[in-house]
Structure 1
Amino acid sequence: MAPTVSDSARPGYGQLLRTPGAWTFLLPGFAARQPFAMLTISIVLLVQHTTGSYGQAGAVAAATGVSMALFAPQSGKLADRFGQRAVLLPGVLVHAASVSALTALALADAPLWALFAAAVPAGASVPQIGPMVRARWAARLDGSPLMPTAAAFESVTDEFTFVVGPVLATALCTGVHPAAGLIAEAALTLVGGLLFAAQKRTQPPVVRAAAGDGSTPRASALSIPGVRVLVIAFLGIGSVFGGMQVSITAFTEEIGDPGVNGVLYGIFAAGNMLAGIACGAIAWKKGPLHRVVLGYVGLTLAASTLWAVESVVLLAALGLLVGLCIAPALIGGYTLVESLVPAGARTEAFTWLTGAVALGQALAVTAAGQLADTRGASAGFVVPLVGTALALITLVALRSRLTPSTGPTGPTGAAATGRIAARGASGVDHRSRVTVD
C-alpha cells in the first residue's frame, strides 16, 4: 500500500526514504547503476588511446548506445512480463563478458569491425537498473503524492553516478591503465547487478489484465502517444550527455590538460544533481508538463553558448548551467510516465526513455567526435544545441499528447487499464489518486 501524506504536509525525501522496503533495493540499485555512467567515456578513452582517433572512438561508443537503445525497451517489456530478476541474471553475465571481449580486442589493436562486433552485445546487455528502480517506486507509491519526489530522487541518484562515474573512469584510464575504466565497469555491473537481482521481495508484480476487461495485456508502452513524444524529447537530453562527453574530452586535449576532463564533466553532472535535489524539495504549483517545456527552453539557451568557449573556467560555468537545466526536463518526463502508462508497462516505458537518452548520446558521440576530429572541439559543442532545439520544437508542437485523457471517473485509456489491473492484483482501488504539482 502506498504511503499516505496529509494535505498539509509537503512530500519530502525523508518521507520517501521511510517507505517500507525502499533501502533494500536502493543500495544495490545504486551500486548496479554506477557502471552505466562509466561505459561511454571508458570506451572513448580506451579506443582513442589505441587508434588515435576520436571519430573511431566515438563510433565504437555509439555502437553500444544504439544497441542499448534498441534492446533496452525489449528488456523492460520482458521484465514487466516475467519479472526483473529473470531479465537481470542473464543480462549482467552477457554484459560483463562482452565488455571484457571489447577491452581485449581494443588492446590487441583489432580492426574496427571487431570492436563493433563486441560493442553491440555490450550495449544490448546493459542492465536497465534505473528504469527497474523507478518501476519499483511506481509499484510501491501508486497513487501517492510522493511519486514526483521519487522521480526527483532517482534523477539525483542518476546524476550523482554521472558525477562520480566519469571522474572515476577518467582517473582509472589516465592514472592506472587505458583499459582500467572498462574493467572496473564490467566488475561493478556483475557484482551490483547480481545483488540487485537478489532483492525479489521489492520487484513489481507481473500485472495481467483481468479476464473480460477488454484490454490488451501485452500492448507496447510505445503505443501511447505521450510516450512517443517523450522518447523524441529524451533524444535531446542524450545529445547533451554525448556531445558534452566527447567535446569536453577533445577540449582538454587541445589545451594540453587532459586530466581536467573528468572534473569538467563532473561539474556539468553536479549541476544536474543539484537541480534534481531542488526539484524534489520544492512544492510545485505547475505540473510536470510545464516544467518539462521550461527545462528544454533553458537547456537550449544554455547550450547555444558552448561552442564559443575558450577557457576552462568559462566552460565549467556554462557546463554547470547546462546541467542545472537538465533536471527539470528529465524529472518532469519521468513523472509524466506514471500518469500516462498503465502499471503493467511502466518498466518498458522507463526503458524507452532511458534507451532514447542512450540513442541520443550515441548519435551525439559520433557527430561530436567527427566534428572534433575535423573542425576542433568547439564544433563538437554544436551537437547539444541542435539536439535540444529539435527536442524543444517537438515538445511544443505535440504537448497536447502529454496530457492524460480523463473521463467522468478519472483517467481513461491506457491509464485506466493500469488502474484496473493494479486494483485486480492488489485488492485496492487506486482511482482516487492525488497529483501534486
Structure 2
Amino acid sequence: MASTVKNRPGYGQLLRTPGAWTFLLPGFLARQPFAMLTIGIVLLVQHTTGSYGSAGAVAAFTGVSMALFAPQSGKLADRFGQRAVLLPGVLVHAASVSALTVLALSGAPLWALFVAAVPTGASVPQIGPMVRARWAAKLEGSPLMTTAAAFESVTDEFTFVVGPVLATALSTGVHPAAGLIAEATLTLAGGLFFAAQSRTQPQPSRAAGHARVEHASALSIPGVRVLAVAFLGIGSVFGGMQVSLTAFSEEIGNPGVNGLLYGIFAAGNMLAGIACGAIAWKSGPRRLMVLGYAGLTLTASALWATHSVALLAGLGLLVGLCIAPALISGYTLVESLVPASARTEAFTWLTGAVALGQAAAVTVAGRLADENGASAGFVVPLVGTALALVTLLALRSRLSPRSSGRIAARGMGHRVPVTVD
C-alpha cells in the first residue's frame, strides 16, 4: 500500500474553509453523547439488575431504534433542513434518557426499560452525519473531501476516547446513573447549539426544488446497501468490545480499568484516522476498505484468547488502528455514490448500521459473558468483521461510482479520475 505526502491538502487547509468552525465546535460538543449512551446504559442496568445480558438487551433496544429511525431523521433533514429535525429531537432524547434512568433506578421490570429504550434510541441526534453533509456541501468536487472524511473519523474517534472514559468514570466514581445524566445534558446543550448554526446547513431539497428526488431513498443505491452491511461489522466491534472489556474488568476485580482499555482501543482508531488524512494512498477507497476489514478480522481473532491487561490493551490498539481505514473509505465512497440531495440520509444509514451492529453485539456478547465469561464475548467482533469482509469481497463491484467519468478528490491535492480499487 504505497503512499506519498507530496502536495497533500492538509488539515490546516481544511480548517481554513470559510465558516467551518461555526459548525465544527458545536458539532464536537453535540456528538460527545453518542459515545456515552451505550456504555452508560450497560453500566447502569448491570448495576441495577446484576446481569450483563439484561444490560446488553436494553442497550440493544436503544441501538435498534436508532438504526431504524436515524435514516428517517437524515431524510427529513435533507428535505426540511437539519435545524427542523434537531430542535424537537434533542428535547425528546433528553426526556427519554431521564425516563429510562428513573425506571432503572426504581427497579422497574425489564419490559419497562425496553419501552423507554425505544424513544431513547430513536431520538439520538445524528450530528456526525449532519457535519459530514455540511462538509460535502462546502467541498463539492474539492480535493479536500478525503481530508474532511479523515478529519471527521478522527473527531468521531476522539469522542470514543473521551466519551466512554467519562461515562465510566462518572458511573463508577460518582453514581451509577451519572453517565447517562451527563449524556442527556450534553445532548440537549450541544444539540441546541449546533441547531442554531443554520447558515452552514445544506440547503433543504424542498427549498432547492428537488421535486424529483425528495422522496428517493439513498438505500435504493446498491453501493449504499453494501456499505450498510459492511458497517454492521464495525458496530459488532464497538459493541463487542464495550461489553467484553467491561466484563473482563469485573472478572479481574478492577472495574476502573475498563475505561482505560476502551480508550486505548479508540485511540488506535483516532491515530489511524490522522494518518489516513495525512497520507495520499495510491490505492482507491474500495481496496483500502477491504484491507481495513481484513486487518480487523485478523486482529480480532486473538482477542478471545487474551487474559492479560497489557496484551489486551495492545490488541485493542491494533483493532482500533484497523477501524479508521474501513470507516473513512466507506464515508469517502458516499460522495461518489450518492447525489447531494440524499447524502445526510446516506450517512445516517451508515451510522444506523453501526448502531444496529453494536446493538446486536452487546446483546450477544452480554449473554456470552454471563454464561461463559468475558473471553467468549470477544468472539463477537471476530464473527462480525469476518462476515462483513466476505460481503465486501463478494459485492465490491457495487461500490463503483455513479458515473465512470466523474472527477473526484484524491489525496494528492489535485483532481484525478475516481479510482475504486
TM range (shorter): over 0.9
Matched, 1:229 2:226: yes
User: 2:172: which partner in 1?
Assistant: 174
* Residue correspondence of structure 1 range 78-117 to structure 2 within 5 A: 78-117=76-115
* Residue correspondence of structure 1 range 322-361 to structure 2 within 5 A: 322-361=319-358
Partner SS state of residue 281, structure 2 = coil
User: 2:280: which partner in 1?
Assistant: 283
RMSD over aligned CA atoms reads 1.9
State the Cα distance separating 1:434 from its structure 2 match: 6.5
1:120-175 deviations in whole A, cap 9, x for unaligned? 10000000000000000000000001001000000000000000000000000010
State whether residues 250 and 372 of structure 1, in contact with CA within 8 Å, keep that contact through their aligned partners in structure 2: yes
User: 1:37: which partner in 2?
Assistant: 35
State the Cα distance separating 1:214 from its structure 2 match: 10
Q: Please, which of 244, 247, 262 is the counterpart of residue 259 of structure 2?
A: 262
Q: Please, which of 242, 246, 251 is the counterpart of residue 243 of structure 2?
A: 246
User: 1:189: which partner in 2?
Assistant: 187
User: 1:420: which partner in 2?
Assistant: none
Counterparts of 1:210 and 1:57, CA distance in 2: 45
Runs of 4+ aligned structure 1 residues displaced above 6 Å come to: none
Relative to structure 1, the CA distance from residue 105 to residue 347 in structure 2 (aligned partners, 3 Å threshold; closer, same or farther) is same
State whether residues 145 and 434 of structure 1, in contact with CA within 8 Å, keep that contact through their aligned partners in structure 2: no
Counterparts of 2:321 and 2:73, CA distance in 1: 30
Counterpart of 1:111 in structure 2: which amino acid? P
State the Cα distance separating 1:208 from its structure 2 match: 5.3
1:333-387 deviations in whole A, cap 9, x for unaligned? 0000000000000000000000000000000000000000001100000000000
User: 1:68: which partner in 2?
Assistant: 66
1:6-65 deviations in whole A, cap 9, x for unaligned? x97311101100000000000000000000100000000000000000000000011100
State whether residues 80 and 205 of structure 2, in contact with CA within 8 Å, keep that contact through their aligned partners in structure 1: no
State whether residues 45 and 54 of structure 2, in contact with CA within 8 Å, keep that contact through their aligned partners in structure 1: yes
Q: Please, which of 118, 121, 126 is the counterpart of residue 120 of structure 1?
A: 118
Relative to structure 1, the CA distance from residue 394 to residue 135 in structure 2 (aligned partners, 3 Å threshold; closer, same or farther) is same
Partner SS state of residue 256, structure 2 = helix
Partner SS state of residue 215, structure 2 = coil
User: 2:24: which partner in 1?
Assistant: 26
TM-score, scaled to structure 2: 0.95
Counterparts of 1:340 and 1:8, CA distance in 2: 27
State the Cα distance separating 1:218 from its structure 2 match: 2.0
Counterpart of 1:350 in structure 2: which amino acid? F
Gaps of 5+ in 2: 409-414
Counterparts of 1:396 and 1:354, CA distance in 2: 21
Counterparts of 2:187 and 2:403, CA distance in 1: 42
Q: Please, which of 395, 403, 406 is the counterpart of residue 403 of structure 2?
A: 406
Relative to structure 1, the CA distance from residue 24 to residue 117 in structure 2 (aligned partners, 3 Å threshold; closer, same or farther) is same
State the Cα distance separating 1:215 from its structure 2 match: 4.8
State whether residues 213 and 341 of structure 2, in contact with CA within 8 Å, keep that contact through their aligned partners in structure 1: no
Partner SS state of residue 406, structure 1 = coil
Q: Please, which of 295, 300, 304 is the counterpart of residue 297 of structure 2?
A: 300
TM-score, scaled to structure 1: 0.91
State whether residues 78 and 344 of structure 2, in contact with CA within 8 Å, keep that contact through their aligned partners in structure 1: yes
Counterparts of 2:112 and 2:366, CA distance in 1: 20
Counterparts of 2:192 and 2:360, CA distance in 1: 30
Counterparts of 1:319 and 1:79, CA distance in 2: 36
Partner SS state of residue 192, structure 2 = helix
Counterparts of 2:124 and 2:208, CA distance in 1: 33
Matched, 1:52 2:40: no
Counterparts of 1:29 and 1:436, CA distance in 2: 31
Partner SS state of residue 48, structure 1 = helix
Counterparts of 2:402 and 2:213, CA distance in 1: 18
Q: Please, which of 294, 308, 312 is the counterpart of residue 309 of structure 2?
A: 312
Counterparts of 2:12 and 2:101, CA distance in 1: 42
Counterparts of 1:358 and 1:178, CA distance in 2: 23
Matched, 1:220 2:228: no
Counterparts of 1:127 and 1:434, CA distance in 2: 35
Partner SS state of residue 91, structure 2 = helix
Counterpart of 2:328 in structure 1: which amino acid? I
Partner SS state of residue 200, structure 2 = coil
State the Cα distance separating 1:394 from its structure 2 match: 0.2
Gaps of 5+ in 1: 1-6, 416-431
State whether residues 164 and 263 of structure 2, in contact with CA within 8 Å, keep that contact through their aligned partners in structure 1: yes
Counterparts of 1:380 and 1:121, CA distance in 2: 27
Matched, 1:373 2:373: no
Relative to structure 1, the CA distance from residue 22 to residue 342 in structure 2 (aligned partners, 3 Å threshold; closer, same or farther) is same
1:155-214 deviations in whole A, cap 9, x for unaligned? 000000000000000000010000000000000000000000000110000235988x99
